[in-house]
Structure 1
Amino acid sequence: MGQVKAVIYDIGQVLIEWNPERFYDAAIGVYRRKALFAAVDLYGVNDQVDRGASFRDSFYALADRHPEYGDEIRMWHDRWLDMASPEIPWSVRLLRTIRAKGVPVFALSNFGIEPFETAMLHYPFFNEFDQKYVSGYLRMMKPDNDIYAALEAGCGLPPETLLFTDDRPENIQTAAKRGWGAHLFEGPEGWARALVDHGVLSEQEAGL
């Protein structure tokens, strides 16, 4: 790829931890959690929220359809921040270091509107992106091409100048097919190394 002119971050499992199973294991126990997740399509409803559906209405309606798990289902909304935490400090430091060097940083994330606005109040770095491409607002999701095309149109930069990290292989594959630089996020150290390899940061700046 050419010189990197913008760095693009996914958010969940890249900048913040996102682990509903871990939360529910602690809140209701492993056995009850496994039964809940087997009986109720929590992730399917979360996908609807990521596409722009109302967060509270979607999960409260789901709870009404499954009264035997109603209290647990409502936790997905009521205790969402407990699932979407903590932040991944090294990743956040890298984001800020990149921006301090004058390289724009964009968000490209599957995220519901209400959860995103909650996160902006809790995590300051959510307000620090130069541009945000968030599925709930755009009503399109990764790995579909449309949301990648929206980012390209919005920033006006050639695909080969974009460097993207995401924890999901299918999202990385779409980016790579479009000509973006693409790094599968498996931890902040590997991402830091990729930023050095692409000439965005020095090893010292990356914390290596």
Structure 2
Amino acid sequence: MKKKPVKIIIQLASLVLFFVMLRTNNLKIWLAIFLIGVASAPIIGRIYCGWVCPIHTGTMFMTAIKKKFNIKSRVIPNSLRAPWIRYALAALLVVVFVIGEIKGRRIPALVFLFTAGIVITLMYSEVLWHRYLCPYGAFLKVAASKTKRGMVIDKNICKDNGTCKNICPAEAVVTLDGRNQIDNSECLVCMKCKMNCQENAIFYKRIN
């Protein structure tokens, strides 16, 4: 496995910044960071998800803890795999934000979602949160649907051994015509597939 110390440093720095903003009641600045992530997604993909998002960093560490202590994940119920759920949660998130602004009262939705992501990942794999429940992911999926850059599997190198598909925390690796491909609208750009690819067949690059 190839280590990515720069990515880990950025993730930890973002997590610390998040808690500092929470402590100083400046979460609107984090909202601005998220909106920058959404605005940039059509160009660079969901970099926000894989490199900046505090929820992803939290779920990543939770997954590592589960692996160390051999904590098994429950099977994700089909009822929670419904694609409409995260869009409904995204709509609810917008409503909560608007109500908070109208009433002039801070509603800690991001704190609740951060906690929810950690607790859910304790019980299930990261896939449930990243692919099916995260309301922020709903916005970013739409924004990244036609991204110009993203993770690409080189078909001339790939031997389709399935490693990338098995470890992707968002089920972004799909099989089409017998070959593995990456759905960049779902991809978190977390680089986990690239770091674990034995053939070095996965690259972050411009998408044709």
Q: Under a length normalisation based on structure 1, what TM-score does the superposition of the two structures give?
A: 0.29
